[in-house]
Amino acid sequence: MRPSTLTRLAVAGSRTDLLRTVLTALSALLATVAMLCAATVLSVHGWADRYTNPLLVEPGLRPGVAGTLILVSLPVLALAGQCIRLGAPARDRRLAAIRLAGATPQESVLIATAETAVASLLGSVTGLVAFIVARRQLDRPNFYGQRVLPTDVLPPVPVIVVLVLLVPVLSAWIGAFLLRQVIITPLGVVRRVRTRGPRPWPGLLIAAGVVLFAVPGQLAEQRSFSKNTIYAFLGAGAVLTMAGVVLGTAWISYAVGVLLRRYGRGPVTLLAGQRLITDPWNGSRTMAGLLTAVIAGAIALAYRELLATEFRSYDIYNAMMGWSEGGVGAPDEPEFYYGAVRLVMVAVALVSVVAAAGVLVALAESIVARRRTYAALTATGVPRRTLSAAVLLQTLTPLIPALLLALAAGDALVRLIETEIPIGNEFRECVERGLGGCEAPRHPEMATVLHVPIPWANLALLGGGALLAVLVAVGAGLLVLRASTDLEELRAG
Amino acid sequence: MSTAHVLLGLLAGGPRHGYDLKRAHDESLPRAKPLAFGQVYATLGRLERDGYVTESGQDRDGGPDRTSYELTDDGRRHLDTWLSAVEPPAPYVTSEIFSKVVVALHAADAERARDYLVAQRAAHMSRMRELTTAKSTPAASIGDVIAADYAIGHLEADLRWLQTTLTRVAGLSKEVTN
Amino acid sequence: MSALLSGTNVVRNYGATPALRGVDLAVDEGEIVAVTGPSGCGKSTLLHCLAGILRPDAGTVTYRDQNIGLWSEAARSRLRRTDFGVLFQFGQLVPELTAVENVALPLLLAGSGRREARSVAAEWLDRLGVAELAEQRPGAMSGGQQQRCATARALVTQPRVLFADEPTGALDVLTGEQVLGEIVRVARELGTAVVLVTHAASVAAYADREIVLRDGVLDPTGLGLGVAR
């Protein structure tokens, strides 16, 4: 097959395909811009007080900023990959017909991914242009020559080239990876189905994640860890927990499905329950990005609460000692640290929006993939309302426990570090060791222990926000259902 | 009897004599049984008696006398009536194949009927293949093609009946042996 | 002389349901063979196995003394753009491509240049009497026109075997007859063997011989249920 043939076959498509191309290009654009920003931040060297933003000034904080930006670009990339399944029926038909004409399985995957790659390249090049234009426009140094954003530096050209190419390559790879779940045969496109229900082993992953996360805090007394080791433990623990929650959603879906089948009354619970039992992994696939974001958000919120408690303890201690200037604790205003947490929360919000878009794409795809069943059900007189309710039920019933699990896991991880902060450490040690002179504390506050509260309100807000995002996505997905239940679908080959 | 109607139809185009009519009949109905001369004249006689045709002339260019016939107004009306009359859809079933299977089931057993059906199907299929080849040749005239179509249609109906009967008869023999 | 294409004891199951339970069939060079039988007898599955679209669960499918059942999916796919042509009831044309692009597709996949492939494809459309449809998409064509284009695509590579599964099943009698007539005529001209799957006796009558399947096995008597006992 010549490249010209590949291009012709890759861009052969209808309006739905155009929509997919636009979405793919758009997500590639966003991801490229985010990564270019990250690279720009990393290109700043040394103590950079030429910026007004403290996050950019300190060399120690910039990797965090860059990391957050990359964190944002990951779900965007995943979205680009998910888009490959959008408008699947027409594309399935096309790919099957091409296979029948003699294309090998590899060639058909190549044709499908070439389209994604071309669209992503279009998007990432546009992203590069947008980035260059934006940094010109936003470059406004103040009176002292200080800037808000690092619009005065650029990453090295090879890095820019790599980043612009990275997005198309990555999204094509993700797309090809997602296509592994389908087999494109000359007779049509078949989805691989796992026959065995999922087991609750992801619970072990969560347990392992929690243990790893707890290691640095619990063993700090016995032995000292280097900073990097601590980061490795915390990072590995968080990632394992996230993986456990995401994969565990499959088991939750299955279990919920079984419960719905057993105790449900009426066609809605029957349809939704059977769907969950038949494809329990659907939830994991669709919600992966969102759940990960929620865990990250819960960690950030819990950490914020820990910081707040710590600052409170410093305040009490300083007040107790009568220090008004300086004293123990954070040298800078706590606002700075809150700012960092807020940045993470903004990232989480962005990721959630993108993840919700991913949910929409995946949901639309899963509805469209079963459009014939839905159209046939409609034709036999099942009201659309019943089908809509079933889709809603099959999305929300596993999502709510999964969200609760994600929130609990995120908060629990941080609580492993510290749940209570005593005000007077020296006093307690003195009492414990039985040294004299401390039986009657000078300050009664010495005996207080501050408990780190669980940020119920914020966690509820986070979970509620995620739920709302999914509800919006489902609402949009139901519009797809309406189109899919057109009786025309029964005729389409 | 439709031979009379066919002759009336052929005369609708203008006067013809007996030999001409026979040739035209055989050409336009290629898969029908060819008409015998005697039958042509007997039929013409009957039509003349009923006032549907009348002698229109004699010609004698170097041969026996040839009497030409033409359609009367009565004959044209009669032809019109026949053309627009709906035929009753086969009130009685008369077919050698059908009778044979029924008799085989009575006089012998299901096995015998089955053997016969299998052989008959093979014969039908091979005839159908011949007809299909004949009508697919580029030289085939429209008359050839529609005649073959007609025959194929009937063979196909027979084949469908053979198939169904065979399935039923097989069920019958299974019931007997069980 | 060994046959061009043969299946020996071909077995194929769908899950626990057997579709073919050991079928033997040989097709010679240039021969037209009809495969008939009632719905669900396994005739389409047999065609898919012979054409290398499906891999038999047991038994062998031999083409030119090679057991293509052992070949990889990719190798069997490549066979479809050189030696095998496939024609279904409907749906084999790519809806987004024009007629001439559809017909050119096997040549393009095999690596031909665009211009060359298009000119060969245009000739084939002409040969099947639909030259004027070259720039139309399948959606804008009638069923008969689509099947003519599909026939052109199946034969554009001058295959040694054409696999036709109810090629006229979705057409009315007259259109079906015309399309079938064209298929048979061109196949005879090319010396291409045809495996013609159908449930209609009138379609099977176009073949040189007929084999009958019933419940996944050959029925040597042509019909009759007693055979499988």
Q: Could you tell me if A135 and A205 lie in one domain? A: no
Which of A94, A185, A186 lies closest to C95 in CB terms?
Answer: A94
- State the average pLDDT over residues C114-134: 93
Cβ atoms C32, C193 nearer than 8 A: yes
Q: How far apart are CA A29 and CA A24, in angstroms?
A: 9
Q: Could you tell me if A221 and A182 lie in one domain? A: no
Vertex B78, ends B75 and B84: CA angle to 5°? 140
Q: How far apart are CA C197 and CA C185, in angstroms?
A: 17
Q: How far apart are CA B159 and CA A137, in angstroms?
A: 83
Helix (H, G, I), strand (E, B) or coil at A182: strand
**Count of CB contacts below 8 A, A vs C?**
80
Residue-averaged pLDDT of chain C? 89
Does ipTM exceed 0.85? yes
Termini Cα distance of chain C: 33
Q: What are phi and psi of A381, to 5 degrees?
A: 105, 10
Cβ atoms C60, C7 nearer than 8 A: yes
> Can you read off the two tokens belonging to residue A351?
């990721």
Mark yes or no for CB contact C94/A94 under 8 Å. yes
Q: How far apart are CA A124 and CA A33, in angstroms?
A: 8
Q: How far apart are CA C183 and CA C148, in angstroms?
A: 8
Closest alpha carbon to A250 in A293, A214, A196: A196
Q: How far apart are CA B96 and CA B123, in angstroms?
A: 14
Which of A104, A110, A187, A195 is the best substitution to test chain C (most C C-beta atoms within 10 A)? A104
Q: How far apart are CA A31 and CA A36, in angstroms?
A: 9
The fold of B2-84 is: Arc Repressor Mutant, subunit A (1.10.10)
Contacts of C95 in chain A (CB under 8 A): 90, 93-94, 97
Q: Could you tell me if A73 and A217 lie in one domain? A: no
Amino acid at site B106: H
Which of A2, A100, A103 lies closest to C86 in CB terms?
Answer: A100
Cβ atoms A38, A70 nearer than 8 A: yes
Helix (H, G, I), strand (E, B) or coil at C209: strand
Q: How far apart are CA A116 and CA A119, in angstroms?
A: 5
Mark yes or no for CB contact B118/C222 under 8 Å. yes
> Domains of chain C by range and CATH?
5-220 (3.40.50.300)
- Helices in chain B by DSSP H: which ranges? 2-11, 18-28, 37-49, 73-84, 96-107, 110-136, 142-177
Which of C181, C201, C204 lies closest to B136 in CB terms?
Answer: C181
DSSP states of A194-235: --SPPPSTHHHHHHHHHHHHHHHHHHTTT----HHHHHHHHH
Which of C100, C108, C112, C118 is the best substitution to test chain A (most A C-beta atoms within 10 A)? C108
Longest dimension (CA), chain B: 77
Given CB atoms, is C80 within the 8 Å cutoff of chain A? yes
Give the orientation angle of helix A3-11 with respect to helix C99-109, to 10 degrees.
Answer: 140
Closest alpha carbon to A121 in A161, A177, A155: A161
The pairing of strands C32-36 and C193-197 is parallel
Q: How far apart are CA A80 and CA B98, in angstroms?
A: 69
Termini Cα distance of chain B: 51
> Can you read off the two tokens belonging to residue A438?
């401390």
User: CB under 8 Å to B81, separation ≥6 — which residues?
Assistant: none
Q: Could you tell me if A337 and A474 lie in one domain? A: yes
- State the average pLDDT over residues C161-181: 90
The whole-angstrom distance between A185's CA and the closest CA on chain C is 8
Distances (CA, A) of B19 to A314, B34, B56: 130, 13, 15
Contacts of B155 in chain C (CB under 8 A): 201
The whole-angstrom distance between A10's CA and the closest CA on chain C is 11
- As a residue count, chain A comes to 493
User: CB under 8 Å to A32, separation ≥6 — which residues?
Assistant: A123, A124, A127, A128, A131, A163, A164, A167
Name the region of A381 (left: φ>0; alpha: ψ -120 to 50; beta: rest): left
Contacts of C202 in chain B (CB under 8 A): 128, 132, 152, 156
Given CB atoms, is C118 within the 8 Å cutoff of chain A? no
Of A143, A172, A192, the domain-final residue: A192
Query: For every one of its 493 residues, what pLDDT tens digit does chain A have, with 9 covering 90 and above?
Result: 777 888 778 777 666 677 778 888 888 888 899 889 888 988 888 787 888 877 787 777 777 777 777 767 767 776 766 676 666 667 777 888 888 888 888 888 888 888 788 888 999 999 999 999 998 888 888 888 788 888 888 889 999 999 899 888 887 887 777 777 777 788 777 766 666 778 888 888 888 988 888 887 777 767 777 766 777 788 788 888 888 888 888 899 999 999 998 888 888 888 888 888 888 887 777 788 788 888 888 888 888 888 888 888 877 777 776 666 655 655 556 666 777 777 777 877 887 887 888 788 778 777 777 777 888 888 888 888 888 898 889 888 999 999 999 999 988 888 887 777 777 666 666 666 665 555 555 566 666 777 888 889 989 998 998 899 888 888 888 887 777 776 665 555 4
Mark yes or no for CB contact C205/B131 under 8 Å. yes
Residues B30-74 pLDDT 10s: 777 888 888 888 898 899 999 998 888 777 665 666 788 888 999
Q: How far apart are CA A75 and CA A83, in angstroms?
A: 12
Cβ atoms C177, C124 nearer than 8 A: no
Distances (CA, A) of A277 to A122, A169, A394: 40, 35, 10
* Rg of chain B, C-alpha, whole Å: 23
Helix (H, G, I), strand (E, B) or coil at A147: strand
Mark yes or no for CB contact A4/C114 under 8 Å. yes
Note the pLDDT of residue C222. Answer: 54
Q: Could you tell me if A243 and A167 lie in one domain? A: no
CB burial readout A128-161, b (16+ within 10 A) else e: beebeeebeeeeeeeeeeebebbbebbbeeebbe
Question: B68 forms bridges with which residues in the sheet?
Answer: B17, B57
Which of C203, C225, C229 is the best substitution to test chain B (most B C-beta atoms within 10 A)? C225
Q: Could you tell me if A47 and A168 lie in one domain? A: yes
**Count of CB contacts below 8 A, B vs C?**
49
- DSSP secondary-structure letter at C18? E
Cβ atoms A299, A414 nearer than 8 A: yes
- Helices in A279-333 by DSSP H: which ranges? 281-321
Q: Could you tell me if A226 and A320 lie in one domain? A: yes
Closest alpha carbon to A305 in A197, A143, A413, A233: A413
- Which helix (H) or strand (E) is A88 found in, with range? helix A88-100
Give the orientation angle of helix B142-177 with respect to helix B110-136, to 10 degrees.
Answer: 160
Which of A1, A14, A187 lies closest to C111 in CB terms?
Answer: A1
User: CB under 8 Å to B27, separation ≥6 — which residues?
Assistant: B143
Q: CB-hemisphere CA count at 13 Å for C144?
A: 15
Of A170, A192, A214, the domain-final residue: A192
Number of domains in chain A: 2
Query: What is the pTM (predicted TM-score) of this model?
Result: 0.69
Subunits next to C (3 or more Cβ pairs <8 Å) are A, B
Given CB atoms, is C88 within the 8 Å cutoff of chain B? no
Mark yes or no for CB contact A186/C53 under 8 Å. yes
Q: Could you tell me if A152 and A234 lie in one domain? A: no
Q: Which domain holds residue A38?
A: 1-192
Q: CB-hemisphere CA count at 13 Å for B33?
A: 5
Q: Of residues B163 and A435, which shows the higher confidence score?
A: B163
Of A165, A192, A219, the domain-final residue: A192
Residues B7-36 pLDDT 10s: 888 888 888 888 888 888 888 777 778 888
Helix (H, G, I), strand (E, B) or coil at C96: coil
Q: How far apart are CA C69 and CA C56, in angstroms?
A: 7
